[in-house]
Amino acid sequence: MKFVLDANMPRSAKSVFTEADDIVHVRDIGLGNANDADILKYALNEQAVVVTRDMDFANIVLHPIASHAGAVVLRVPPSFTVAQITEFLRWFLAEIGDKIQLQKALIIVEPNRFRIRKQ
């Protein structure tokens, strides 16, 4: 599967994905300062799921689920360190199991739970 890590995600989060996954960070592809719409456009072109901490991606009025290939929004406390964010993402990916569920869905991940919304 393909994934795009948003600018607010640590690059180290790439390490939680498997070798079979195609994972890029927006800073590595020249989109480090891009707005949400440009990131979603890139991800849709690539059929990649966006992984972010930006709650704007969870707003289905701004970004309807049908307008993107999938979005995983991590709701973590602002005090979380890079290591904690990475481990939180690792926990979620282990819990979700089959990543195919992430396609064409909005997933909001909070400590100890997550919600999946399909179009």
**Residue 109: CA atoms inside 13 Å, Cβ hemisphere, count?**
23
- The per-residue pLDDT for range 76-112, each reduced to its tens digit, is 999 999 999 999 999 999 999 888 889 999 999 998 8
pLDDT of residue 48: 96
- The per-residue pLDDT for range 42-67, each reduced to its tens digit, is 999 999 999 999 999 999 898 888 88
**Segment (H or E) for 116:** strand 113-118
- The per-residue pLDDT for range 2-39, each reduced to its tens digit, is 999 999 999 999 999 988 899 999 999 999 999 998 99
DSSP 73-90: EE---TT--HHHHHHHHH
pLDDT of residue 15: 93
> What's the whole-model pTM score?
0.93
Q: For residues 115 and 107, what is the distance between their CA atoms, to the nearest angstrom?
A: 5
- Pairing between β-strand 113-118 and β-strand 105-110 as defined by DSSP bridges: antiparallel
